[in-house]
Chains A and B, each alone.
Chain A
Amino acid sequence: SQKIEQNSEALNIQEGKTATLTCNYTNYSPAYLQWYRQDPGRGPVFLLLIRENEKEKRKERLKVTFDTTLKQSLFHITASQPADSATYLCALEIRSGAGSYQLTFGKGTKLSVIP
């Protein structure tokens, strides 16, 4: 069965440093992968989508890479700020037939940026 793993449950980092979060998956070849941010008591908020034919995508201080050979995505936050503290979720699409899909989420990495 498909499995998606975010290798750290929690990550502490000093303000101003680059945070790097990892998402690994097995037994599947997704057409794309998404990253979301979730704050306590709230629903996840979409950050970035990267397709299988894209190696890297950037948005302001965020960067996502997608290595389909390693079956891994890396999510970077440069110049991290305390406001970046949240849980970050990766999600990949599972296709189960024509026009049918579902997003499978990792359990998330809780990032804490220390001032």
Chain B
Amino acid sequence: KAGVTQTPRYLIKTRGQQVTLSCSPISGHRSVSWYQQTPGQGLQFLFEYFSETQRNKGNFPGRFSGRQFSNSRSEMNVSTLELGDSALYLCASSLYGDYNEQFFGPGTRLTVL
């Protein structure tokens, strides 16, 4: 069974630009969560989607948004990039979300210059 894939793996952007990251979950998984990981703050929850609906959102500004498609693939978008948005963005999928182990992708390393 193929694992969670994320594209692109690396991205360099400049302040003010926007970016879209993509995540393909494990086949059959309906829940997709996004996390931001930085050395200072660790892993922080961004949002979780289940069957195309956002079920929960972390404490991030509205510049961070996401969506999920009918095939469970998910995208997240960050608009008006700031230097502080430089981080590893991780996507994780699970069967139903709650009480299930999460399978993480390799992440997208975003650098904002």
Contact = CB atoms under 8 A, between A and B. Distances in A.
Interface string B32-52: 010100000111110010000
Contacts, number: 57
B44 to A, nearest CB: 8
B45 A103 contact: yes
Interface residues of B, number: 24
Interface of B: 4, 33, 35, 41-45, 48, 55-56, 58, 90, 92, 97-99, 101-107
Given A89-B43, A108-B42, 17 more contacts: A31-B99, A32-B99, A34-B102, A42-B106, A44-B90, A44-B104, A49-B101, A93-B98, A99-B55, A101-B56, A101-B97, A102-B45, A102-B56, A102-B58, A103-B33, A105-B42, A105-B45
Interface of A: 31-32, 34, 41-46, 49, 89, 91, 93, 96, 99-108
25 contacts: A32-B99, A34-B101, A42-B107, A43-B107, A44-B90, A44-B92, A44-B104, A46-B101, A46-B102, A49-B99, A89-B42, A89-B43, A91-B43, A96-B56, A100-B55, A100-B56, A101-B56, A101-B98, A102-B33, A102-B45, A103-B33, A105-B35, A105-B42, A105-B43, A108-B42
